[in-house]
Structures are given as structure tokens and as C-alpha cells.
Structure 1
Amino acid sequence: MRNNKEKLCLIILISTTLVFLFLTSISAAASAVQEIQLTQNGSRASTPAIYGDNVVWSDYVSDSGIIHLYNLTTSKDIHLNSFHGSWPAIYGDKIVWRDYQSCGNNDNYNLSVYDISTAEKFQITKNVSRDSIPAIYEDKIVWHNSRNGVSDIYMYNLSTSKECQITTNRVALYPAIYVDRIVWTEYHNGNSNIYMYNLSTSKETQITNSEFRQIDPDIYGDNIVWAGDRIGERYSLNPDIYMYNISTSKITQITYSESASRPAIHKDKIVWKDGRNNKGISSNIYLYNISTQEEFQVTKDESGQMWPAIYGDRIVWKDNRNADEGHSDIYTCMASAVLKSPDANFSVAPDLGFSPLSVQFTDLSKNAILRSWDFNNDGVPESIEKNPVYVYTNPGNYIVNLTVSDTNTTDSKLSTVLVFDEQLLDNQLVLTETQISTSGKAIYDSPAIYDDKVVWVDHTGDYSGNDKYDICLYNISTKRETRIHTTNGSVYGLDIYKDRIVWYESRNGQSDIYMYNVSTSKETQITSGGSTSHPAIYEDRIVWADNRDEEGVPDIYMYNLSTSKESKIINDTSVVGLDIYGDRIVWLNYTSVSYSNGFSNIYMYDLSTSKKTPITTSGSAGFPVAIYDDRIVWEDDGYEKRQIYVYNISDSTEIKITPDNLSQQRPDIYGDRIVWQDQRNGNLDIFMYNLSIQKEIQITTSRLLQDCPVIYGDRILWYNNGKCGNYIHMCTISLKGSDMPVASFSSNVTSGCYPLSVQFTDLSENATEWKWDFGDNAYSADRNPVHTYNKAGGYTVSLIVKSENGTDTEKKSKYISVSNSNDKKD
């Protein structure tokens, strides 16, 4: 790390550029995507729809239910002749909506149509349901109606003035239409699924067949989109967005946020509302490009946006950012601007270690022109390089902030770096244990982890001919569990690298390797020989044991995902247990069914040199074997009790890291850390050994069975055989900071007319430095600053506090409300 003088020079050098850039970028952020308000202040607008340059919506100001027609080219807003109108839809020059009239004790709901070209309004049907929502394509209008005591789908043809019934005696709701295809949600026995009807062929098709809810369909071309649940208990989880392609009959999961709903589709773009960033309290609008398989966040305001619609390059939605006294507005923006906006992303290597710790940061952002790195999130940028290296000399929990920008807008991403003291003591660590799986049916020897992704296998069958295995994926960042694969066969040998998950699966006496890509939701069968086992993956290479020659002795094969090429690596290895790291493949080689009889050793093969090397010669090495960088770990039972060994490839040295006369098994390694299961206390616990400080730490102390540990970074995963089921547990290792700062503040006023002078009071704990962001491009490092707001608006205030142990932030959205002086009431 640079000394103070060097750091000061760096700050002076870059601050003029960076601070000016970021203040300019922040102030211009709203104009970058050009979020334009279409409604007048004081509106209560909702449910917008769009076709071409025309946007329609309903406005409930004074409970009137006025239908608006707004032309984006002329900026002309026309109020249509409606009676408590709601749910407008538009195609070409035709607008349809639901009208409501009350006659005495009778409530009448009708469907009305407005012809833009003739400025004429007419009614097409009477006595529709109070929850009927129309949709229109060309001259066809569809809706659901409960006129017969059940909900059925109806269609009206404007050209022929004829109405026809599509379904009979069903519970069919909320249809959408494209050309000759109608889709809707239908309920049977408490389950909701998506159905489609083809007007040309008079054929009905059930699109989904799920016990979980599938709702809100929309259709364009061959693609149907909807919101659906696929995991957990029925109705217990928030939905994700799915897409079905009619031509291929393939379902693609679009989102994994478990907080998405109300999708709409046009051409190759899908929009929806998503509460992933605001804990489900409010939502933002998101966009997915089907052609590039990329997702983008359209809106970022914390007040909440919903009811998106899209036509071509234009997106419209309902927006609550001006929600004082229940008001809401209609906003619009261009999708092309969203697709070109900067998207911050980066990787950290390593993300934990001992001081002094040198960390390589790699910028993975999209559409970024400029960038700024703040390595301890104190508000002062330290680097503008694309891929900088930074050295942390002091221990602590560090939050890293990368801010990227184009000429108009900015985006940021946070990550953490954990730095330990070189003389680390047990009481300096915080071990936080979390139960990951929920079903209680996790199987032994199944967990694997990479970054924030955890995978395992649930056995949900009954072992009586109705076997069922589910591969489950848990995202630590989003706290979301997903079933990505279900089979009646047996699943074993899970491994994961980045977004790729591999396993071998036995079906009908055949065992083959499969891969699932989390990014694309695509499953691929890698082998078809029917005699494979023990897969492992690193980057684009998959290795496994294969007995396709039927000689009784398996060989090692490799498949390269980049070249789609399969090759045999080693002949007649008698392999059990494989791992790969970089160019090195390691495995346990045995010549007897029981490797405790002195016939098992560890071998390594280097792909770069095509050289095979024996690592052990004791003949008593055990399964599993694992490799990380230049270190290999395994268990060895050469001394009656199984113990953990590590081999250093760089200097060809072997050491035993566990005590004598104990039973330790199933090691795994990441960096300087090795984990294993240990029976020294009379039951199976998880232990960890740090090679850097040559220190052992007990991770679990429960009397339950803890088994099959794996490690990635500061996270340890294992199988837990509990009293009420079998679960996957995780321990997160962090550095204890008894004096960690906690940000908090208040102010003497939170609203008033400008110029508004506000006294801010710091209420933080354990802080030695303060950084205030008042939300109007003004900042302060004072502990208790006074700030004057000179413009009307709602201002978000943030306080970052810092001490030698770390940083903390408190952010209060729309905390200060400033109005014009002429808004005062007499």
C-alpha cells in the first residue's frame, strides 16, 4: 500500500478528474436514459399500454377513471369519453377498455372501443366481469367473463361484429393475443397453468403442467412469457419470469430473483417489474434481450415502478416517485438507451488472505468508458485503472466500490475483501453458520460450491420404484433456492465452476455426464457411452472416469467445451475420484476393491507436458483427492487411523496436517485452507487448517453428524444429518471487529420550502471519519454538518462512516423533501 504522501499525491492527481466526472455523471444520470414523465402532476395513473407513438392509460384522480391517449410525437394528451374506465389496450388506431356504470343497485361493466382515426366510441359487449381485462390484436379483442358462474375466454371480431366463446365452463383468466394465438391462465384443482388456443386450427394446448402457480401470460411471435413458481411450497414463493418457444417447445427461465412479475413482450425484448433490490417492498423495471440473453435494469428509483409495457424501442410504466398523497404517473424511456448504459461488474482475486494482501481487481463491466476504484469505500477513489492491483497492509473487512460511467450516467458495484492478521487467533474469527437447503432431503456426498453458488442433490423419492432426485442451486447473494434438474435416475458427483454444473446420472442402467449452464438455463449431455463416473470441471474442461471399453478398468477422458472435442487422457487407470485445477488432473488409482489393503495411490497428469506423476507411494491413499493451485490433499489410512496429508507440487514435499491416532476424512482445499471431517470428539465435526499460520480451527461443535465438507473462499459447506432431516449447512468466516463502525444520523427538519437549511446530527458508533452525500451533488466530511437546499425536490441522504476496523453506510431515500416557496398555502 502506498504511504500517506504517495496516497495524497494520487488523490490530488485524480480527484479533479474523478470528482468532477462523477458529480457530472450523477447529475446527468436521469437524462442518460431519458425517463420522461407523460402525466401531469397530481395524477393517479395506472396500467399503461403502447402501440407505435400512442400511449394509453387510466387515471383515477378523483376516482374518475379517465382513459388518456397520449401521442409521443405531438405530446398531445386526449381524454377519452369513458365512465370509470380502466385497463385500456391498444392496437393500431383502436383502443379498448372496461367501462363501469352504476344504475341504481346494479353495477354494469362493459367493453368500449375508441377509433382514433374517426374519433368515434362504441360499445362491443355488455355485462362483462368486474375483473375483465381486454387485450387486442388487429381486429380481434379477447377477455375473460364470469357471466355463466365460471370464467371463460371470449373473443370479439371488429370486422364481423361477432362474438365467440373460446373456452366453456372453465376457470380461465386474463388472456393475451397475437395473430391467431390466444394464451391465458387457467385454474384446475387449485393449480394455475398456461394454456394456448390457435384460432386457425381450433386446437388448444396446455403450455405448462405444474403444481405451482403460473400466471400473467403474454405472447409475441413464437414466444410466450409468464410469471411462475417452480420451487418450494405452493404459493409460498414470489415468481420468476419464464419463456416458452412454440417452435421448439423449450421453456427458458429468464429471471432468478424470485421477485419478478407482470411480464410483457415485443419482438426480442421482455420487460417486467422486479423487487429484488428493495426486499420486495418496491419494484423496478427490468429488460431482457432474447437475442443476446442479457438482462438490464431499466429503472433504479426506490419509490417503485410497475405495470410495464413495451412496443419496439419504447418502454412505458406506472411510477410512484411522485407518490405524495397517493399520486402516480406514467413514465417512458427508450430501450436502446438502457441496452447501452454502463453496467458495473468486477472480480476479486483473492478475496481473503493475510496482511499484507495483494489483490488483483479485474473490471468486467459493460458499456463503460471511465471507471473509479474505491478499495475501502471511504468515498475517496484510489485508482482509475481498468485492472488494478491493490495491497492491503492492515487486517479488516473491506468493502470495495467500483463506479463506472459513460458520457451520461454511472453504475456501481460493491464487493468485500477479508484481510486477516498474520498472527491470527481463534477469538479474532467470527464463524456464522447458516442452513442452506430447506427440504430436509439432501443426500450424502452431494454439496459443491463456487463463489456465491451452492449446489446439492435432494432425494425426494421413496426408494420403492418411485425414485426422484432433484439438483438444487442456492444463490447466496439473492438467498434463492432453485431446482434446476429433476430425474427418476440417480445423481452423483456434483461439481461446479462459475456458471457450469456437472454431474453423472444413472438412468436405465446407463451412467453419463451432464452439464447445466446457470446463465443460459441450458442442460447438455456430455457423454453417451453409459459407463461414466466422477466428473470434475475447471474452466472449459470436464474430466471423468469412463469404462466404455468394458475392460473392467476405467480410463480418464476429457471434454473441451470451447472446441467441443473429447479426448482420452489416460488408459487403464483404475480411477476413483478425480479433480482438476488448471492443467493438472489428480486422481486416486487403485488395484483392489478395498484401497485399505495397500493398493491405492494418488497420481497427477499435467496436460501441458503430457506427463503422469505418482504423488504417493504408500499404497494407502484414500478418496477423495482435491487440488488447488500447486497443492494436493487426500486422506491416508496407513497408520490405522485415517489422517489428512498435503503435497506441494512446487517443492515436492508432503506433510501430515492432522494429529496422530485420530480419524479424519474427506478433505477439500481452497488457497491456504484445508477442511475435513473429524471424529476426535466422538462424533463427526468439521475442522479447518490454515497452511500459512499452521493453525487448526474447529468449525462445528454440534453433536449431530457433519460430513462431506467443501470450501470456497471464506465459505465452508457440508452435509448435516439432523434430527429432523438431512440438510446442507454453510459456515461463513469473518474477522471479529468489536469496534466496527455503525452509521446512523438524524436531522432537525426533513421538509420545508427552499432555501431550506438542515442541521444533520451524527448518531454513529465507533466512527472516526465521516462522509456525507446530501443528494444534490454536495458533500461534507464534517461530523455534524449544516447544509442548505436551494431547489425543490426529494433528496436521498447518505452517510459513510469509517474507523480502523472498517466502514458502514446509512442511506435514507427521499429523506429531505423541499418544496417551492410559492407552494405554501394561505
Structure 2
Amino acid sequence: MKINKELYSIALVLTVLFFVFSILISSVASAAQVTRIGNGSDPAIYGNKVVWTSGGVIHLYDLTLKIDTTVSSSAAFRPAIYENKLVWRDESSGTPRIAVYDIPTGAITYITQDVVGSSIPAIYGNIIVWDANSSVYMHDISTSTQAWIAQGRTSEIYDTKILYSAEGRDVTDIFMHDITTKKTELVSPYSSDISYPHMYGNKVIWSNFYSRNGFIQMYDLVTKKTIDVTSDNAGNTLYGSDTIDAGDDTGTHIDINEDKVVYSKSGDDQFGYAGVYVYDIPSAKSTPVYIYPRGTHTTPDIYNDTIVWGIDSSYGGVNDTGIYICDLSVTNTLPPVAKFTANTTYGTAPLVVLFTDTSTDGVPTSWLWDFGDGIYSKHAMNATHTFTKPGNYTISLTAGNDAGNNKVMKPNYIVVTNPFPVANFSSNVTHGYPPLSIQFTDLSQNATGWNWDFGDGSNSTQRSPVHEYADPGIYSVNLTVTNENGTDSKLTTITVMQLVSRQRQNVV
């Protein structure tokens, strides 16, 4: 009895946790307006301008004018922006180089020295930094001078500080190099595989890849203290398992601006579902901005209250090339018009169906699916459901945001049939003397019709008939079963033996 109570308590806690968390996702995430502004990948933002690449072409979007301008480019990768300057890795000439684009004049210059195919430029003011062959380089646009900074990688710049990861105390550490003083400072605690540093004000963040896709840590230059922004190796209690490190799916793409950190979360656990998140530094709380199916990796960047992101297709996940922005200061003004599709609408049980949200107008931030079989709550943009029994199922989706909800219903949308029948049966006896009465028992699977041939000219359509053999002989018994998808048969033999008279027995 004690074990049963403990199991019940655990199940109750998990159920309540899941329910509360579902409400949190559908309500908090609906507070901001999400807008799709284009198609492509690797977006970055500064001020009212967003830059990204699509098919190797640079796009520059003005958030105020809502105008998308293409920059003369090809084979462009990983753009960055600061004030009126764009930089990106350019491979249009066949040799990697860094392109520097002046927005007002449209002039392009190139940095060709010490650039490789994996270089990712970052810019602040007139300073561009990147890494190549495990070395960090700096280029000053104003003086056209270039310098080697240190051995390292995943470089970033903020103000006069260049940050990078490098092998330090027999582990990967985060270092900060001051351009003005020429001094380099170790800013990370002794840890493990940490990289992708970013900085704003007196805060430095990085990804700690101790396990899986990493978690985020933040260092305060004033207090000299490090905290975990996302969970550090806690068990995943959403699914009742302690074998997965909850929160260790948040390190693949991070950014910081003012008092906010944005990050991509690719898994589902008690700290949130997969999607784009914003962490408020003063309150130390994370809020979902947009929820995606588990396994989706996004690429969020932030400037003031505006978050921009795309999908990192190198990890797989959803098939979505959209570039999205979310203004945290603006609420949704239009409710969504709920729409959805399914990858299949007909098949045999068990039928696995992927439902995809295709809602229009206002961007939904909450979803409620009703699968028509008693399972109706799946707070995810796209949902996979298994129909275990034959039948016609009416499916509905309620999509919502802060401006309202909308529901679409598709009657008899999913048709699930029986699988092909498999004939099988048994009998209580297989031989004996006449009159021999035999109970045949049907053991077939997925059958809706039965036809017995007893081999003596008699037939039956009962499921499990009783038949009597009056005469000796060897009889072939055949069962044919049917359903709407086909037929199947099974054959066996019954032996009715000849009676031997007393007189014949005495003679012998």
C-alpha cells in the first residue's frame, strides 16, 4: 500500500507540473507580437535593421519602413550588423574573405588576410573580429590595420573588449582582451567545454557544453560571480525521468542585450518546451517567446525589446525558412485564423499522423488539439498522434494569441481502418471416433467476417462454431476471414477414425 501511495503522489505532482507549465506557455508566450518578415537564415539585428542571408544573398530589412532590400552579394554567410556597417563571410570569389558593406553608400570592401571557410565575423564600431585556424584576429576599418590577438575561437566583440574561448587550465576557458590596455583577463570559472561568449555592459554570457547541447552561464565583471542562466544538469521531471539533463539544450545559439538574454531551447522538460526564450536578468526568469516541436533549433538575436530569429536547419527539425521578429513591447493585435494539415488522413490501425499548424493572420502562440478519440490536450504548434482503433475521427485545432482564439474543425478527417486480417483458429480435439463433435475457436486478428468449410460439405459463418462429423475420414478444415482490406485463410486436418466391431476383434 505504501508503494502505491508513493507512486500516486509522484504521478500527481508530475500531472500538476505539466498542467501548470502548459498554462504558462499558452498565456505568457502570448504577450508579444510575432511577425514573419522574410525567408532565409542567420538573422542579426541592430537598431531598426535586420540582416540575413537567403541563397547566399544578403537581405537588409528596415523595421520602420517595412522594406526588404537585397545587397549585391552571392555566397554570403553569417552576416553581422552594427550601426551603418554590415559584415559577412563572402565566398563568391572561391576564396573565403570578409565583406564590409557601408549601408549609406553601398560601398563594399574586403578583408582577405587570415580568413578561412569557418570564419564568422563580428563587428562593434570600427572593429571587426573573427577567428581562423584557432587564432583570433582584429581589423580596424578606420585605419585599415589588422592584428593577431590570441590563440582562440568563437570570438566576439563589445565596446573595447574582445572575447573568445581558448584552451586555458587544461579545459576550454573564456578570455577577455582589452583593445585599449592590451590586457587579457580570464573570466570563466574552472569548468569544461565552454564557448560562444557574448557581452553587454558588465555581463558576459557563454555556453557550457558539459553535456548535450549545453546550458548558459553568466559572469558579472563587477561581483566576479558566475550563475547558471539555464539549468545545470538537473533531471528531466516532465516525463518522470532522471536520465536526461534538463536545461542542457539551450547553448547552441545565445545573445545578450541590455538586461535580456535570448536563447534557443531544443528539448522539452520542466523548464520549458522547445522554442525561442528570453531571460530577464533582474528577475532571473525565462519566458517562452515562440514554441516549436521538440528537436527544433533556432537562431535568436536581440536588440532592445526586439528579438529576431530563424531556424538552424543543420540540426533538422521543422521545415521552416522564415525570418521572424518579436517586439516584446507590442501585444498581438490580430487573433489567428486556425488552419492545419496532416501528412496522412487514411490508413490502418495503429495509424501515426503528424498534424501541422498552418494558421494565418495573427501568429498563434498557443495551440489546443482535439484528436476525436478522447485525447484533446497537446500544447504544441505541431502534434503527432497515434490512432489505435478503427473509426472516423473529427479533428479540431484551437489556435490563440493575446488578441483572441480561433477554432477549426474537420469532421471525419482521419479514417482508420482495420489492418489486414490474419486467419487463425484452434479446436478442442483433432481426431476421434464418430460421431465426433468438435469446438472450433477463432483466434484470428482484425477479422470482421468468417467462413468455415469443414471438408464434409458443411459450412458455417459463425465465429467459433461447433461441428459434428458422422463418418470416418480425413477432413480438411478451412477458415477464411475477411475485413474491408482483404481476406486470409488457414487450413488444418481432422481425422475421424473407423470403429472396430467386437466380432472382428475376437477373430483377431
Same fold (TM over 0.5): yes
Which AA in structure 1 matches 2:190? S
Offset at 1:218?
Answer: 0.6
CA-to-aligned-CA distance 1:248-268 (integer Å, 9 cap, x gap): 111011111121112100111
| Secondary structure at 1:217 match in 2 | strand
Quick one: which of 204, 208, 211 aligns to 1:224?
204
**1:163 aligned residue:** 146
**1:37 aligned residue:** 36
CA distance in 1 between partners of 2:203 and 2:74 (Å): 35
Question: Structure 2, unaligned stretches of length 5 or more?
Answer: 1-25, 232-246, 334-362, 377-381, 400-405, 415-508
Offset at 1:236?
Answer: 3.8
Is 1:240 aligned with 2:215? yes
Offset at 1:761?
Answer: 10
Is 1:97 aligned with 2:88? yes
Quick one: which of 786, 800, 816 aligns to 2:412?
786
Normalising by structure 2, report the TM-score: 0.56
Residue identity over aligned pairs, in percent, reads 31
CA distance in 1 between partners of 2:386 and 2:303 (Å): 48
Offset at 1:325?
Answer: 10
Offset at 1:160?
Answer: 1.1
Quick one: which of 228, 233, 250 aligns to 1:260?
250
- Mapping 1:104-143, distance limit 5 Å: 107-143=94-130
CA-to-aligned-CA distance 1:434-487 (integer Å, 9 cap, x gap): xxxxxxxxxxxxxxxxxxxxxxxxxxxxxxxxxxxxxxxxxxxxxxxxxxxxxx
Quick one: which of 316, 323, 331 aligns to 1:330?
323
Contact 1:59–1:68 (8 Å) recurs in 2: yes
Q: 1:742 to 1:46 in 2, by over 3 A?
A: same
Quick one: which of 396, 399, 402 aligns to 1:773?
396
| Secondary structure at 2:96 match in 1 | strand
CA distance in 1 between partners of 2:196 and 2:78 (Å): 14
Contact 1:771–1:779 (8 Å) recurs in 2: no
Quick one: which of 156, 166, 177 aligns to 1:176?
156
Which AA in structure 2 matches 1:152? S
CA distance in 1 between partners of 2:286 and 2:28 (Å): 19
CA-to-aligned-CA distance 1:686-709 (integer Å, 9 cap, x gap): xxxxxxxxxxxxxxxxxxxxxxxx
Contact 1:93–1:115 (8 Å) recurs in 2: yes
Q: 1:164 to 1:320 in 2, by over 3 A?
A: closer
CA distance in 2 between partners of 1:179 and 1:47 (Å): 23
Which AA in structure 2 matches 1:57? W
| Secondary structure at 1:160 match in 2 | coil
Is 1:57 aligned with 2:52? yes
- Mapping 1:162-311, distance limit 5 Å: 162-167=145-150, 170=151, 172-187=152-167, 191-229=171-209, 235-256=210-231, 257-261=247-251, 262-277=253-268, 283-302=274-293, 304=296, 306-311=298-303
| Secondary structure at 2:267 match in 1 | coil
Q: 1:30 to 1:215 in 2, by over 3 A?
A: closer
Q: CA RMSD in A?
A: 4.0
Normalising by structure 1, report the TM-score: 0.36
Which AA in structure 2 matches 1:161? S
CA distance in 2 between partners of 1:761 and 1:265 (Å): 41
Contact 1:111–1:126 (8 Å) recurs in 2: no
Which AA in structure 2 matches 1:163? Q
Q: 1:775 to 1:763 in 2, by over 3 A?
A: farther
CA-to-aligned-CA distance 1:581-614 (integer Å, 9 cap, x gap): xxxxxxxxxxxxxxxxxxxxxxxxxxxxxxxxxx
**1:314 aligned residue:** 306
CA-to-aligned-CA distance 1:333-357 (integer Å, 9 cap, x gap): 112358x99xxxxxxxxxxxxxxxx
Q: 1:743 to 1:325 in 2, by over 3 A?
A: closer
Quick one: which of 68, 73, 83 aligns to 1:77?
68
Offset at 1:207?
Answer: 1.6
CA distance in 2 between partners of 1:324 and 1:213 (Å): 25
Contact 2:33–2:328 (8 Å) recurs in 1: no
CA distance in 2 between partners of 1:30 and 1:253 (Å): 22
Offset at 1:145?
Answer: 1.8
Q: 1:743 to 1:222 in 2, by over 3 A?
A: same
Question: Structure 1, unaligned stretches of length 5 or more?
Answer: 1-25, 230-234, 342-407, 414-740, 745-749, 751-759, 789-826
CA distance in 1 between partners of 2:324 and 2:265 (Å): 17
Offset at 1:773?
Answer: 3.0
- Mapping 1:679-694, distance limit 5 Å: none
Contact 1:271–1:308 (8 Å) recurs in 2: yes
Contact 1:305–1:317 (8 Å) recurs in 2: no
CA distance in 2 between partners of 1:180 and 1:82 (Å): 30
CA distance in 1 between partners of 2:146 and 2:213 (Å): 36
Q: 1:209 to 1:778 in 2, by over 3 A?
A: closer
Offset at 1:276?
Answer: 3.2
CA distance in 2 between partners of 1:94 and 1:410 (Å): 34
Quick one: which of 59, 63, 70 aligns to 1:68?
59
| Secondary structure at 1:258 match in 2 | coil
CA distance in 2 between partners of 1:743 and 1:89 (Å): 46
Q: 1:779 to 1:56 in 2, by over 3 A?
A: closer
CA-to-aligned-CA distance 1:611-647 (integer Å, 9 cap, x gap): xxxxxxxxxxxxxxxxxxxxxxxxxxxxxxxxxxxxx
Q: 1:334 to 1:763 in 2, by over 3 A?
A: same
Q: 1:130 to 1:412 in 2, by over 3 A?
A: closer
**2:430 aligned residue:** none
Offset at 1:34?
Answer: 2.0
CA distance in 1 between partners of 2:46 and 2:82 (Å): 6
Contact 2:291–2:365 (8 Å) recurs in 1: no
CA distance in 2 between partners of 1:29 and 1:245 (Å): 28
| Secondary structure at 1:336 match in 2 | coil
CA-to-aligned-CA distance 1:329-386 (integer Å, 9 cap, x gap): 2100112358x99xxxxxxxxxxxxxxxxxxxxxxxxxxxxxxxxxxxxxxxxxxxxx
Of structures 1 and 2, the one scoring higher in RCO (CA 8 A, sep 6+) is: 2
**2:137 aligned residue:** 154
CA distance in 1 between partners of 2:270 and 2:286 (Å): 19
Which AA in structure 1 matches 2:412? V
Offset at 1:117?
Answer: 1.4
| Secondary structure at 1:79 match in 2 | strand
- Mapping 1:338-487, distance limit 5 Å: none
Contact 2:394–2:413 (8 Å) recurs in 1: no
CA distance in 1 between partners of 2:258 and 2:318 (Å): 37
Which AA in structure 1 matches 2:127? K
| Secondary structure at 2:329 match in 1 | helix
Offset at 1:293?
Answer: 1.9
Q: 1:328 to 1:320 in 2, by over 3 A?
A: farther
Q: 1:787 to 1:87 in 2, by over 3 A?
A: same
Offset at 1:203?
Answer: 1.0
Quick one: which of 38, 42, 46 aligns to 1:47?
42
**2:491 aligned residue:** none
CA distance in 2 between partners of 1:115 and 1:52 (Å): 16
**2:343 aligned residue:** none
Offset at 1:327?
Answer: 4.9
CA distance in 1 between partners of 2:89 and 2:277 (Å): 28
CA distance in 2 between partners of 1:59 and 1:183 (Å): 28
